[in-house]
Structure 1
Amino acid sequence: MDQFGKTAGVVARVRAMVQDGTLVAGDAVPSTRVLAAELGVARGTVVAAYEQLDGEGWIRTRQGAVARVAAGVGAGHWPTEHTARDATGHADGSASTGADLLDARPGIPAVTAIAARDWRAAWRAAADAPLRNALSDPAGLPELRAQIAAQLGLARGFAPEIGRVVVTAGTAEALSLVTEGLRNRLGRAPVVAVEDPGYRSGRRAMTSAGATLVGVPVDGDGIDVDVLGRIGPVDAVIVTPTHQYPLGSVMPVARRLSLLDWATRTGAVVVEDDYDSEFRHRGSPVPALAALDATGVVVHVGGFSKTLDPRLRCSYVVLPPGPVHEAVAASRLARGPVVAEPVQIALAHLLRTGALRRHLGRVRRDYTHRRERVATRVAAVAGLEARALDGGLHAVLTWSGRAAGRDVVARMARSGVLVSALEEYEVSPGSAPAGIVLGYGALTLPQLDRALDVLLEVLRVRGD
């Protein structure tokens, strides 16, 4: 039997022990060493099997702790279904209150995957911080900004001075803040080029802050720099080069250099939304634009929504030296602090102690399992294509035929699965193919299978 078959055998054995009641929720599973000896296989085989079982939601493993059967799993039951926290109803307007509602929309990471002891320790650190009679620094706590700078040096290839790091209330607020700074510096509404299709909430934030937006098409290498150079004067461009949102393309280094050269020649600002850079499933890591920036044209935006929890509402911008820095910093000062100090203290603790890096290593493995499940299932269906699988927490699924994405989304919602239509990300109508965006960050493999089953049934019923 090959290695794959041996691993599958161990997975099947543990599943059977849970389903027949031999193991129940909370029970410790045999150690990898003990089970390997019992089954006569290599310990690495059991380690791989436990990783798969964890990714499927059967067990929960923690570094340095005993692996245990996951909560909600017992005799005769699959892993507990994920119940949406914030779903307000089906896409077609009908009420949705059942516990079987599955929220597979993008933007929800595996929030519960972080080690409980690390999470509690972070908030104990926040609670133990001394009370003081003072106002918060509008730019953010120096400790958190120092930890962010250090993390960027380790993970993204550049280590900015702490004074260039500014804490914001999420990515949308970061983009709004940068837009406001540009508007005040220019004395008029800035013209901002955006990816088409691209990040909807970011577009709304920039428009609310006074920007005039111009859509630029994207291709397999990201935003089309040739088209960008032909659309006329623009003051800034926002890009998602590490994992284009939502189509998933990765901008190669040659195009990154071309974009930076264009910005240097035109005096434009490049706003790099570096979301999902932590989750690269295939291919070599690509350096951040800010790491390649030799002329001070890049504003780097990052945050903790996809790595920890979007409800923390904490992101950051790294500003280049010069007038843009001064303008955006002035806007931050005028707006005042926006992220509560206890949240910033907790995040600084997670960074300083290495808890965030441990968490990322764990969920990166889980997301890879889910990515592979999507790729395998879609490859078996003629006319269905999966995109955006090189990294991140979502997949774009497109199909041949006449089915409109919004129609498919509505039909899937009536079957209890919430996804997003690819058309919703368009700047210009028709810039995106018919398809859906499916987030898999918070789903177990059985839940992911259910979402894909519903999609295939909807397409089959329509004859597409």
Structure 2
Amino acid sequence: MAIEPTTWLVLDRAVGDLEGQIYRAFRARILGGALQAGAPLPSTRALAAALGLARSTVVAGYDRLAAEGYVNAARGSATRVAPLPPPPQGAADGRSFAPVPPPGSPDPARFLPLRPGLPDLEAFPHATWARCLAARARGLRVHDLGYGDEQGLPILRAAVLDHVRRTRAVVADPAQVVIVPSTAAAVALLAGLVLAPGDAAWVEDPGYPTARALLQRAGARIAAVPVDVEGIDLGQAPAGPPPRLIHVTPSHQYPTGAAMSLARRLRLLDHAAACGALVVEDDYDSEFHYAGRPLASLQGLDERGCVAYLGTFSKVLAPGLRIAYAIVPPRLVAPMQAAVRLSGGTVPMHLQAAMADFLEEGHLNAHVRRMRKVYHARMVETAERLDAVAAGRWRAGPVDGGLQLALWLASRHHDDTALARQLQDRGLGVLPLSGLFVGPAQPGLLIGVATAQSPVIDRLAAALDALVLPSDSRDANHGCRI
């Protein structure tokens, strides 16, 4: 018999986002154990009638639950709660929390199409940003020109929190938001707060080399944890002391493009709570998700203060803005504020104020909506064009989101560093994937799709077709997990 949610599902129509309220209410009941695996949900028609909503609103809420693995939905049968992994044995120990580019990187002084990590700078909303910036440069209040709050202007912190609440299901208070120049700055600050020399830090393998270098600089002993199609696999973590910090990119893993499954997310949170580790969730490009709604943030699932959430405007707008943010657990607010004060790494006040206006006036959302369509088309065109000439020599990774596409070479004997340099000499700014591994590497190329217009894609396909020799059939696919 289907459950009757109308006794506990109370909607606040004044707040809006009724679809999100339905999703969050069911998610909380499922994670809290009130709804057990196999329990049927009411039909969308019955629930819509009981709540006085359009059926499409309930369908959208159920679709979000299904997309993130909380329920199983099949045509012609009831939607049912999906089985979730049991928590591991053991409890938290109660402890308190007292870069060099990879080989073959393009010259950073040169702009090359297909360079990963760059949005389409020609599409930057110059006129709108200039208006916001000019208005704030002329109209800053006197007290905004002083040293100000180390965490950032309150208006920007509130605007950022509103943005990530709506788009990423982040759960926090404005006091937890810290404005920083970059996510790298945030990683460095958090590493300084959490890590002592010799502490273990876990990173994804392959993963973001700048984060790895920053953790090493903080004195951490790096343990690389393999990634597969479900994200970081803690079952493959190397033996050793428990981590004090775990850096992950769960929504769109860098560089593979994998999305961390719900089972892996819950296991990661349980493991972090059990060993007293801080999870640094680097949500670097989640605005650009192409296959339905993006997965909710890991931070939004965390009820034990284990996750620090990082976001940036570099991938959405332009790296030159130098505005990013960290949303830290409550216990780290005061230490983070002190660390920012000592580092001197604050964002100029007129930039913060202009970004607050840009967010509040809806310009960021409009830009993301427009560019999501553009980037999706470029991602799909790149993958399809390369697939058409692959002939078994390579395969493309997921195309569900992000600004870069992983292209895995079929033979382990390919030298992707030399191949990347040859392509760079042809004016194509791709990166070798092998430089992003700590353990045994899988060769491939990382392709930035934000600047992948048709003539450039054709140049890449022709160059790869000429440069990559056929694979040895005995070594094709070479046990690739990704």
TM range (shorter): 0.7 to 0.9
How far did residue 105 of structure 1 move? 1.8
Q: Which runs of 5+ in 1 are unaligned?
A: 1-89
Tell me what 1:292 maps to.
301
Q: Is the 8 A contact 2:176 2:328 kept in 1?
A: yes
Measured after TM superposition, the shift of residue 457 of structure 1 is 2.0
Return the alpha-carbon distance in structure 1 between the equivalents of residues 220 and 410 of structure 2: 37
Matched, 1:422 2:433: yes
CA distance in 2 between partners of 1:277 and 1:457 (Å):
34
Quick one: which of 230, 242, 247 aligns to 2:251?
242
Q: Work out whether residues 180 and 346 of structure 2, in 8 Å CA contact, stay in contact via their aligned partners in 1.
A: yes
Matched, 1:309 2:318: yes
Indicate how the Cα distance of structure 1 residues 463 and 412 shifts in structure 2: closer, same or farther if over 3 A, else same: farther
Letter in 1 for 2:408: T
Correspondence 1:273-292 to 2 at 5 A: 273-292=282-301
| Per-residue deviation, residues 382-402 of structure 1 (Å, max 9, x unmatched) | 212001422100111122233
2:365 to 357, 362, 368: 357
Secondary structure in structure 2 of the residue aligned to 1:356:
helix
Distance apart, 1:212 and its partner CA: 2.6
SS of residue paired to 1:301:
strand
SS of 1:418's equivalent? coil
Match of 1:141 among 153, 160, 179: 153
1:130-209 aligned at under 5 Å gives the runs 130=140, 132=142, 134-183=146-195, 188-209=197-218
Distance 1:93 1:260, change over 3 A: closer
Once the two structures are TM-superposed, the CA of residue 311 in structure 1 deviates from its matched residue by 1.4
Q: Cα–Cα, structure 1 residues 417 and 317, in superposed 2: closer, same or farther, change >3 Å?
A: same
- 2:116 is paired with a residue of what secondary structure? coil
1:226 is aligned to 235
1:68 aligned residue: none
SS of the equivalent of 1:103 reads coil
Q: Distance in 1 between matches of 2:365 and 2:203?
A: 31
2:414 alignment counterpart: 403
Shift of 1:451: 2.4
User: Residue 328 and residue 229 in structure 1: after superposition, are their counterparts in 2 closer, same or farther (change >3 A)?
Assistant: farther
Q: In structure 2, do the counterparts of structure 1 residues 251 and 131 end up closer, same or farther at CA, with 3 Å as the change threshold? A: same
Q: Quick one: distance in 2 between partners of 1:277 and 1:329? A: 26
Describe the shift of the 1:415–1:131 C-alpha distance in structure 2 as closer, same or farther (beyond 3 A). Answer: same
State the distance in 2 between where 1:374 and 1:363 align. 16
Q: Deviations over 1:176-228 (max 9, x none)?
A: 00001113xxx545421101110011112222233332111111111112233
Tell me how far apart the structure 2 counterparts of residues 204 and 272 of structure 1 sit (CA, whole Å).
Answer: 17
Alignment correspondent of 1:106: 116
What is the aligned counterpart of 2:268 among 259, 272, 275?
A: 259
Matched letter for residue 287 of structure 1: A
**How many angstroms apart in 2 are the aligned matches of 1:313 and 1:213?**
28
Please tell me whether residue 348 in structure 1 is matched to residue 343 in structure 2.
no
Change (3 A) 1:445 1:129: farther
Correspondence for 1:70? none
Is the partner of 2:330 in helix, strand or coil? coil
Q: Deviations over 1:347-384 (max 9, x none)?
A: 11110100000000011000011111022113222212
Distance 1:114 1:103 in 2: 16
Contact 2:407/2:445 (<8 A) preserved: yes
Match of 2:424 among 413, 433, 440: 413
TM-score (structure 2 length as normaliser): 0.71
Distance 1:436 1:136 in 2: 44
The range that moved more, 331-340 or 363-372, is 331-340
State the 1:444 CA deviation. 2.1
Shift of 1:252: 1.2
Does 1:327 pair with 2:328? Answer: no
Quote the sequence identity (%).
34
Matching residue of 2:82: none
Partners of 2:175 and 2:238 in 1: how far apart?
32
Corresponding residue for residue 20 of structure 2: none
Indicate conservation of the 8 Å contact 1:125/1:349, yes or no: no
Q: CA deviation at 1:158?
A: 2.3
Distance 2:235 2:136 in 1: 49
Residue by residue over 1:141-200, the C-alpha shift from the partner in whole angstroms, topping out at 9 and shown as x without a partner, is 1111110010011101124211100111111111000001113xxx54542110111001
Alpha-carbon distance in structure 1 between the residues aligned to 2:158 and 2:298: 20
- Indicate the SS of the match to 2:259: coil
User: Contact (CA 8 Å) 2:387, 2:395: kept in 1 or not?
Assistant: yes
Q: Distance in 2 between matches of 1:237 and 1:283?
A: 28
Contact 1:141 1:341 in 2 (8 A): yes
Task: Note the C-alpha offset of 1:129.
Answer: 2.5
Specify the alignment match of 1:448 in structure 2.
Answer: 457
Greater CA deviation, 412-421 or 249-258? 412-421
* C-alpha separation in 1, matches of 2:415 and 2:211: 25
Q: Does structure 2 conserve the Cα–Cα contact (< 8 Å) formed by 1:193 and 1:237?
A: yes
Q: 1:327 to 1:102 in 2, by over 3 A?
A: closer
- Is the CA contact (8 Å cut-off) linking 2:289 and 2:401 kept in structure 1? yes
3-state SS of the aligned residue for 2:378?
helix
Structure 2 residue identity aligned to 1:392:
G
User: 1:57 — aligned with what?
Assistant: none
| Coordinate RMSD, CA, aligned | 2.6
Find the aligned partners of 1:243 and 1:342 in 2 and give their Cα distance.
32
Q: Displacement of 1:271 after TM fit?
A: 0.8
**Counterpart in the other structure of 1:389:** 399
Which amino acid in the other structure matches residue 331 of structure 1?
A
Shift of 1:460: 4.8
1:118 correspondence with 2:133:
no
1:436 equivalent among 428, 445, 456: 445
Which residue pairs with 1:211 in the alignment?
220
Aligned match for 1:129, one of 130, 139, 147: 139
